[in-house]
Chain A
Amino acid sequence: MEEEYEGGVVKKFMYVNRKAPFGTIYALEVLEMVLISAAFDQDVHVAFLDDGVYELKKGFNPSVSGMKNFSNTYRALDGYDIEKIYVEQESLDERGLTADDLVVEAEVLSRADMAALMAGMDVILTA
């Protein structure tokens, strides 16, 4: 489960997004936390389920309400070497969305597979 890496321990981290991008600051805060976590050479996983899938919806535009347009920032994850991005199929279905509606390429997992992935994590942060 844990392996030695350049003198440090690499843990499996999962950041679980399940809130819509607006209404609370959670979505933006989790995104910033994910970007910062990239500096620590950990095994980072980012999951989107429930209303969290709305965070990745194409065309969502926070600048309309005077906020920073952090929709574009999800596309920066790749440059930060964060490539393990997962979206839950059932959450997409419930909201009438498909993987084509999302701003990033993500692996679409069934709810059961998402649960199984979560079960193998060392640290989980859900918001």
Chain B
Amino acid sequence: MSILHTVNKSPFERSNLDSCLNHATKGDAILLIEDAVYAAMKAGTFAARMTDAAKQFKVCVLGPDLQARGVDPAGVIDGVAVVDYAGFVDLAAESNAVNAWL
């Protein structure tokens, strides 16, 4: 029993990521897509929170969305996996339900 949560808003602008982290349960997967990929960066203010989250949840970030924003995957927080579209599909297939935090 696990849920794949997708978050697509920048955490600097909206509370979607915060709310998602507050409602995910142990073993869930969280995939950062679109503007939420900014939350995955070691250099940002969300680094501590996301590093912590990666210990409880399977946290991933969508590679093509990093690339589109000119964000270097090398700067992604340790413990956060970079996945491609096929990886996105795998995450959805492994989960019982998908919760898109729009």
Contacts and interface: CB of A to CB of B under 8 A. Distances in A.
Question: Chain B's interface: helix, strand, loop or mixed, by majority?
Answer: mixed
Interface in B47-77: none
A119 B3 contact: yes
Given A115-B25, A118-B99, A124 B19 contact: no
A9 interface: no
B86 interface: no
Given A120-B1, A124-B3, A127-B102, A115 B23 contact: yes
Interface residues of A, number: 19
Interface residues of B, number: 16
Interface of A: 16, 18, 26, 49-50, 111, 114-116, 118-127
18 contacts: A18-B19, A26-B102, A49-B19, A111-B23, A115-B23, A115-B24, A115-B25, A116-B25, A118-B23, A118-B25, A118-B99, A119-B1, A119-B3, A119-B25, A121-B97, A122-B97, A124-B99, A127-B102
